[in-house]
Amino acid sequence: MVLGDLLKEAIRHLKDNKVEDPSYEAGLLLSHVLGRDPGYVYAHPEEEVSNETAGQYRSLVERRGRHEPFAYITGECGFLDMTLFVNRHVLIPREETELLAQSALWALGKTPRYFNRRIPRLPEKGAYRVLDVGTGSGCIAVSLARHCDYIHVDAVDISVEAIAVARKNAEKYGVESRIDFIVSDFLNDFAIKEKYDLIVSNPPYIPEKDIKTLPVSVKGYEPLTALAAGSDGLIFYRALAERARSLLFGQGMNIVECGFNQGREVKGIFSETGMETFILKDLAGIDRIVAAVSIGDGGFCSK
Ligand SMILES: C[S@@+](CC[C@H](N)C(=O)[O-])C[C@H]1O[C@@H](n2cnc3c(N)ncnc32)[C@H](O)[C@@H]1O
């Protein structure tokens, strides 16, 4: 079998199974199996491949044809300037979450490239303590620790398996000594008793009744614990707002990602605790990030 024929066969299979952009994905999967860049695959259609390699490729193409996400098949995913390990125990980091990480970097005094939104920064300080609630792959915790050597992050997740992935990503980027990994249920156990300058979170935010409307690639593969959040999708925001007073230092900040139609409500949840709130839109113009700053003398204004 030659590369060109193998590629054509895969494109047909992905097209028949209604995978978006079959030519692009078939090429990327083949380059993954060969350990070559995609350009090589297209430039060498006559190159012979072994039966073993062809078999390996076909099995990945079949998985993709069943709509398993590309990132789970290859075991990795790009996030900002990193390539992170992922598996089926963690949510595949999304583009919107890059905006969340950039917003947190801004709050911590960095100016990320192309970040042109304006939210307040934390007051200047030699070192900051950061809490990442629902760390998953560790995409946020690792990117913050990597770019700010003056912070310590507590990265919390209910899933032992997710914490293992986050730890592996921290080790890959050499920041494991500045992140504590904590397995804890943020909603029901109160293991976290420290105070923080910044609490960042991309929590589960999909109302349970909406899970069935998600694409197969999401509801059939990504962990339900990373997606579902009670009847209205807002339970984590309420918990974060309720605990802001005990978990944040004065003038501390909460920065969270929310669902496409939740921005106003999430802003309201934090405003009700007396925090000053800000909404940032994502590239699609959707209210996506809510930042809430504790104000007043002791940090919070007394309403
Ligand atoms: C939407 S995912 C976000 C993962 C990662 N931070 C990201 O942005 O890609 C939410 C994460 O919250 C975790 N989680 C769900 N319920 C939790 C709880 N009660 N306490 C702590 N973490 C929880 C899930 O295991 C999942 O990793």
223 CA distance to ligand 1 middle (Å): 9
Query: Residues of the chain whose pLDDT is less than 50?
Result: 301-303
Q: What pLDDT is attached to residue 302?
A: 40
Quick one: which atom of ligand 1 is closest to the CA of 134? 12
Which ligand 1 atom is the nearest neighbour of the CA of 136? 27
Q: How far is ligand 1, taken at its centre, from the CA of residue 11, in Å?
A: 35
Which residue CA neighbors atom 26 of ligand 1 most closely? Answer: 226
Cα of 299 vs centre of ligand 1, distance in Å, is 27
| Ligand 1 atom nearest 186 alpha carbon | 20
The 3 state secondary structure assigned to the chain is CEHHHHHHHHHHHHHHCCCCCHHHHHHHHHHHHHCCCHHHHHHCCCCECCHHHHHHHHHHHHHHHCCCCHHHHHCEEEECCEEEECCCCCCCCCHHHHHHHHHHHHHCCCCCCCCCCCCCCCCCCCCEEEEEECCCCCHHHHHHHHHCCCEEEEEEECCHHHHHHHHHHHHHCCCHHHEEEEECCCCCCCCCCCCEEEEEECCCCECHHHHHHCCHHHHCCCCHHHCECCCCCCHHHHHHHHHHHHHEEEEEEEEEECCCCCHHHHHHHHHCCCCEEEEEECCCCCEEEEEEECCCCCCCCCC
Task: Identify which of 76, 102, 211, 225 to mutate to test ligand 1's pocket (most ligand atoms within 8 A of the CB).
Answer: 225
Alpha carbon of 143 to ligand 1 centroid (Å): 16
Minimum-distance ligand 1 atom for the alpha carbon of 159: 25
Tens digits of residue pLDDT in 111-120: 988 887 779 9
* CATH numbers and ranges of domains, the chain: 3-66 (1.10.8.10), 76-293 (3.40.50.150)
**pTM for this predicted structure:** 0.94
Residue 140 alpha carbon, nearest atom of ligand 1:
6
**Pairing of β 128-133 and β 151-157:** parallel
pLDDT of residue 298: 53
